[in-house]
Amino acid sequence: MLPNLKAQSKWGWLIAGYLFLAGLGGGAYVTGAVAGLLDTPEWATIAKIGVSLGFPCVAVGCLFLLADLGSFKNFWRAAMRPNSSWIARGTIIITLFMIIGAIHIALGVCTDRLAEDAGLRHIISALGIIFGLGTMIYTGILLAAARPIAFWSTAMLPLLFLVSALSTGIMAVVALASLVETAHVESIHYLARIDMAIIVLEMFVLGFYLQGSHRVPESRASARLVLAGTLAPMFWLGVALLGLVVPLSLDLVGVFSLSGGAAVSITLVASICGIIGGLLLRLVILSAGIHAPLKVGRFEIALPIV
């Protein structure tokens, strides 16, 4: 008889906010850096917007993380064990990303140094893209390394977080670009079209991820919690509807049947919905983390023990 399994309660809003902002910052930066490498006037504003989001979003995410620490005076020690701990590895990755991101903003957005020096721009962008991808991926690997939590401990989770981070990053760039006058409207539409493909990919990945959680009783309990339990409203309305279906539909309408200002407004609304959905996705997954029960012979004890 399976005991009453409860989800973990130690990692909540603050950690979800950190994972979300780190992903969005990484995704927005990668979008901007790639646009910058295309080196055409149509993509110039989008490149600047993307790069400008990178360092600040990740930095604010880190503030969320520091707020969650029980003893934050030791926060600088977080990088001490990269040989075994994914938090340590991640600390190094996002610190390097923030440094590169800040340098890129200083040289590429605040001044025009990088517009003149293509070689330097290529080096900084390449490094930034590598560490931006690392930032997006490691947030998923971090959770996947918690082995007793079967709902998290799967290779699908880093993939889901990567796709979601890329999607929210692009949507953040699209949202800001549609508010800025100098942005090239065709480029915004192009980005929106790319994002539609990524949203469809994210739907498939999310579906595979949830399907794959049928492995063990505790991951099934997590999936039940998400799909039909207390987290179901947040998942179906916040993640599935607001985060995936609504942005996809609005983008379809905006890109294929409207044009000009109306299309841009629609993609702005779509992006805001998708960004909120990305945050809620992280929160749902964190709130559904259930530990494997202790198996003592034929008896089972649910964790955490209260």
Partner 1 sequence: MPRYGFAIDLKRCYGCYSCQVACKAANHTPQGVDWARCVPAETGSFPAALRQMVPLVCQQCAEPECLKVCPTGATTQDENGIVHVDKDLCMGCKYCIMACPYGARQTVEEWKAYFPDAGGDLDPYEKHAKSAWEKKNGYGIASKCDYCTDRVKDGRQPACVESCPAKARTFGDLDDPESEISILIRRERGFQLNPEFGTDPSCYYLPPR
Q: Which residues bind partner 1 (CB under 8 A)?
A: 1, 3, 8, 10-11, 68-75, 77-81, 84-88, 91, 145-149, 289, 291-292, 294-301, 303-305
Q: Look at residue 2 and give its three-state secondary structure.
A: coil
Which CB, 88 or 103, lies closer to partner 1? 88
**Longest Cα separation, the chain:** 70
| Residues 60 and 21 sit within 8 Å (Cβ to Cβ) | yes
Which CB, 34 or 92, lies closer to partner 1? 92
Smallest gap from Cβ 143 to partner 1, in A, equals 8
Smallest gap from Cβ 102 to partner 1, in A, equals 23
Tell me which residue of 163, 239, 249, 158 sits closest to 198, measured CA to CA: 163
Q: For residue 178, give every residue at least 6 positions away whose Cβ sits within 8 Å of its Cβ, in sequence order, or none.
A: 188, 264, 265, 267, 268, 271
Which CB, 36 or 90, lies closer to partner 1? 90
Integer Cα distance of 35 and 31 in angstroms: 6
Q: Look at residue 14 and give its three-state secondary structure.
A: helix
| Residues 121 and 106 sit within 8 Å (Cβ to Cβ) | no
Which CB, 194 or 303, lies closer to partner 1? 303
3-state secondary structure 108-159: HHHCCHHHHCHHHHHHHHHHHHHHHHHHHHHHHHHHHCCCCECCCCCCHHHH
Please give the span between the terminal C-alpha atoms of the chain, in angstroms, as a whole number. Answer: 19
Smallest gap from Cβ 81 to partner 1, in A, equals 5
Smallest gap from Cβ 293 to partner 1, in A, equals 9
Smallest gap from Cβ 215 to partner 1, in A, equals 12
Smallest gap from Cβ 274 to partner 1, in A, equals 28
Which CB, 11 or 208, lies closer to partner 1? 11
Which CB, 76 or 119, lies closer to partner 1? 76
